[in-house]
Structure 1
Amino acid sequence: MRFDVFCSLAQTPRPGGLPEHATILREFLDQAMLADELGYECVWVAESHFSSEVQKRHQHPVIPHWTGEVGVNTDICQLAPRVFDRTSRVDVGSAILNIVAGGGPVVAAERVATALAWHGLDPAERRRLRIGFAGGRFEFIARTTGITPRGAWEAAGWRQVKQALLWEAGEVFVRLLRGETLAAQDVAERWLGHGDFPDAEAFEHVASLAGVAGEQRVRVPRRWDFEATKIVPDRRADLLRLYAGTHDAGLQTHLNQFRPVRAFNLSITPPAVIEATHERLAGAYNLDGGKWQRSYLPRTTFVFLDASAGASRATRRERAQRHAREALAAYWQAMEGTLDERRVADAVGNALVGAPEDIAEQIVARFHPDDRLMLWFDFFPRDGRQVLIAMEEFRHRVVPLLRDAEFGGHEIAHA
């Protein structure tokens, strides 16, 4: 089993108020250096853009109840060198890089290529840049950078159009990073059919607005129009790993026609979806990447660990559960403005919560021994020191309990 760390770099309320942005950045670097020291394999970093406080004034705010900033990392290509300069073993990953907004896939591919060229100048360098990419979660970021409907029919089918844009952007991004010389016309246009919409009425409404009433599909014109292009400088392909941040089975398979593209999971995903993804990519994964492995699908999980000395296991469990309920309740209120106790309870039930012994038992019960877990320690923290303590306690108190554990009859060989 492999363990990574996920860092949100979010500005959220603490007992002393909102921390300064510089404090969050410094705390992140401390976490990255400790992750390297403790043997975590990768530090995955969330990306956000523009002030979520200011977007609350928009005509259609996306997260009107969030206090602070959703995230203060805007560019993995500037952040990663800061980590690599301070560490010796740990990889750095984006979770996720938005390849639709902010200039689109050509610009994104060039930035990644440039970062890799500098990173790989030392022939002895082995640490990888792991790029999780997708279309972004928050609509205000897309709108701010010009990704908006181009007419009434796109507005009516905007959710489906955005997915078509991700197909287009994903192919451009992957093929340019493969080293191809590519023009927009080399990328097939996307078409939307009945199966892309919740019901026939929704599709027929969009088709009518698009002027193709009675047809079986609607063409989505290309968003990015460019002549033959190749990105420079040259870079070492062995230092790059790509992860598609989508559960779209067709897109996962499509991208693997061009180069190995793994999958990225950043949500509480039903186990059936996880297993279906493994089964599908076992057959679709590009052969240049070797045989598909379960560790190629990192799985995010919240960690609320209490390993305080001198307290009983029951007391530590109760304190961790209380912290989990408080943090997750604050999150859902910030995201939606209401508190859904059932949703909070479900989230706590899916997190790793309790004393070290509890968390080890939960990992054994829920995960496969070959899984890769992205451990989310900095979720609504009380302070930065708390995150460092939890990272250390997990490595020293939880992992040793897993070395001899059995997962459904499978004994862990490496933890």
Structure 2
Amino acid sequence: MKFDVFFSICQTEISGYLPNERTMFHNFFDQVSHADELGYEIAWVAESHLSCEVQKHNPNPVIPNFKSEIGLNTDILQLAHRIFALTKRIHVGSAIRNILVNGGPIAHAEAVKTFLTLHELDEAENRLIHLGFATGRFPFSSAAYGIVPRSAVEKAAWHIIRVKLFQEATEIFLRFLRGDILSSQDVRSKIIKREDFNSDQEWSKVLQAYGKEVNQIEIPPFWNFDRIGIIPAQASLNLLRLIIGSHNPTTQELANTILPCRVFNLSITPEAHIEETHRRMKTKFHPDGGEWQRWYMPRTVLVFIDNTPKKSIAQRRAIARERANQALHAYWQAIEGTLDPEKIIKATNNALVGTPEDIVQQIRERFHPEDRLMLWFDFFNHNNEEVKESMTQFMKNVCPYFD
């Protein structure tokens, strides 16, 4: 089993305390340096774009009750340079990089190639950048960059077109990373058909918007460009690992026709879906990536651990449970504005909560011995020393049972 750390850099008010951005980044770099010293393998960092605080004053706010920002990292590549400079062993991962914003997939391919060029200038540097990529959590972030329906047909079919749009972006992004020279005419067409939709009624609305009865509709490219190549052109991909943030099988398989792409996973993904993905990827994973390994699909999990000296086991369990309940209570209130006790109970049951011995048992019961876990210690917690202590207790008192 492999153990990584997940960082949210979530700047929100907790119990009346709202750290400024400087404090948030200071704590992050202190925590990632600590994770490096402890021996965690990868530091995964969440990504956000554009202010949630500003957006909530617009029509249709996505998280109207959330105070301040859900995340402060907007560019894992800039962040990674500083992480590598401050640490000795830990690798860096993006969770995830939105390839639709900031210029789209061509710009992101160039940015990654530039990062790799600079990163490998140090011949002694062999640490990896694990690039999780997807579309982002909130549509408003991408909408500011023109990722919106452009016609009545696209508006009627937007929930389907968004999937195919990401497939278009994925192909462009990966082919340029691979070193291809291409134009938008070389990219697979986006076709929508009746079978893409859940009902005849949905497809009828699309046809009504289109204006005539047809079996399929071709959607124009979102990125139009002449035959081009990106620079730097000579950077290798040796220190890059790609992880696609989509559970759509067609999208996963498309990506793996171009380059080896692992799969990014959330803790809320149903177990049956996880196992089906593992089975399928054994045959669909790009051959250049070797044989599919179970730890190629990292899994996020919240951690609330307590090993306070001179406390009884019952007291330690109670402390950990209280921390979990407080954090999840604050989270659901911020995200939805209401409290649903069932959601809190379910989320707590999915987290790792208790003494080190409790958590060892929970891991054995819930996870495969070859899983990769992204451990989320800073979830709704601005207490820097408490976060670092939790990381220490997990590494010293849990990890040895899974060597």
Deviation at 1:196, TM superposition (A): 2.4
Which amino acid is 1:306 matched to?
D
Deviation at 1:286, TM superposition (A): 0.6
Q: Say whether residues 1:397 and 2:388 are aligned partners.
A: no
Q: Say whether residues 1:265 and 2:230 are aligned partners.
A: no
Deviation at 1:278, TM superposition (A): 0.5
Deviation at 1:153, TM superposition (A): 2.1
How large is the Cα RMSD of the aligned pairs?
A: 1.2
Q: How does 1:224-239 map to 2 (within 5 A)?
A: 224-233=223-232, 234-239=234-239
Instruction: Name the CA distance, whole Å, in 2 between partners of 1:245 and 1:161.
Output: 17
Q: Determine helix, strand or coil for the equivalent of 1:82.
A: helix
Which amino acid is 1:166 matched to?
F
Q: What do the CA deviations read for 1:190-229 (whole angstroms, capped 9, x no partner)?
A: 1122232231101210122023x43232222110011122
Q: What do the CA deviations read for 1:126-176 (whole angstroms, capped 9, x no partner)?
A: 100110000111021112222111012212222211111100001111111
Aligned to 2:278: 278
Aligned to 1:3: 3
Which amino acid is 2:318 matched to?
E
Q: Determine helix, strand or coil for the equivalent of 2:269.
A: coil
Percent identical among aligned pairs is 48
Contact 2:14 2:330 in 1 (8 A): no
Which amino acid is 1:225 matched to?
N
Which amino acid is 1:96 matched to?
I
Q: Determine helix, strand or coil for the equivalent of 1:335.
A: helix
Deviation at 1:102, TM superposition (A): 2.1
Q: Say whether residues 1:123 and 2:129 are aligned partners.
A: no
Aligned to 1:199: 199
Runs of 4+ in 1 over 4 A off after TM superposition: none
Q: What do the CA deviations read for 1:304-336 (whole angstroms, capped 9, x no partner)?
A: 111111111221112211211221122122222
The range that moved more, 288-297 or 340-349, is 340-349
Q: How does 1:202-221 map to 2 (within 5 A)?
A: 202-211=202-211, 213-221=212-220
Q: Determine helix, strand or coil for the equivalent of 2:191.
A: strand
Aligned to 2:343: 343
Aligned to 2:67: 67
Aligned to 2:29: 29
Alignment coverage as a number of residue pairs:
402
Aligned to 1:152: 152
Q: Determine helix, strand or coil for the equivalent of 1:53.
A: helix
Contact 2:294 2:370 in 1 (8 A): yes
The range that moved more, 125-134 or 155-164, is 155-164
Instruction: Name the CA distance, whole Å, in 2 between partners of 1:263 and 1:59.
Output: 34
Aligned to 2:325: 325
Which amino acid is 2:260 matched to?
P
Q: Determine helix, strand or coil for the equivalent of 1:115.
A: helix
Q: How does 1:101-180 map to 2 (within 5 A)?
A: 101-180=101-180
The range that moved more, 307-316 or 214-223, is 214-223
Unaligned runs of 5+ in 1: 404-414
Deviation at 1:342, TM superposition (A): 1.0
Contact 1:207 1:217 in 2 (8 A): no
Unaligned runs of 5+ in 2: none
Instruction: Name the CA distance, whole Å, in 1 between partners of 2:15 and 2:335.
Output: 20
Aligned to 1:306: 306
Q: Say whether residues 1:100 and 2:100 are aligned partners.
A: yes
Q: Say whether residues 1:255 and 2:255 are aligned partners.
A: yes
Contact 1:61 1:140 in 2 (8 A): no
Contact 1:303 1:353 in 2 (8 A): yes
Aligned to 1:85: 85
Contact 2:101 2:141 in 1 (8 A): yes
Contact 1:316 1:354 in 2 (8 A): yes
Q: Determine helix, strand or coil for the equivalent of 1:32.
A: helix
Q: How does 1:30-45 map to 2 (within 5 A)?
A: 30-45=30-45
Deviation at 1:382, TM superposition (A): 4.3
Instruction: Name the CA distance, whole Å, in 2 between partners of 1:203 and 1:331.
Output: 37
Instruction: Name the CA distance, whole Å, in 1 between partners of 2:111 and 2:382.
Output: 35
Q: Determine helix, strand or coil for the equivalent of 2:33.
A: helix
Which amino acid is 1:5 matched to?
V
Q: Determine helix, strand or coil for the equivalent of 2:317.
A: helix
Compute the TM-score of the two structures, normalised by the length of structure 2.
0.97
Contact 1:10 1:72 in 2 (8 A): yes
Instruction: Name the CA distance, whole Å, in 2 between partners of 1:338 and 1:161.
Output: 32
Which amino acid is 1:355 matched to?
T
Instruction: Name the CA distance, whole Å, in 1 between partners of 2:289 and 2:325.
Output: 41
Q: Determine helix, strand or coil for the equivalent of 1:238.
A: coil
Contact 1:128 1:240 in 2 (8 A): yes
The range that moved more, 195-204 or 238-247, is 195-204
Aligned to 2:363: 363
Aligned to 1:48: 48
Aligned to 1:408: none
Deviation at 1:124, TM superposition (A): 2.1
Q: Determine helix, strand or coil for the equivalent of 1:117.
A: helix
Instruction: Name the CA distance, whole Å, in 1 between partners of 2:110 and 2:372.
Output: 29
Compute the TM-score of the two structures, normalised by the length of structure 1.
0.94
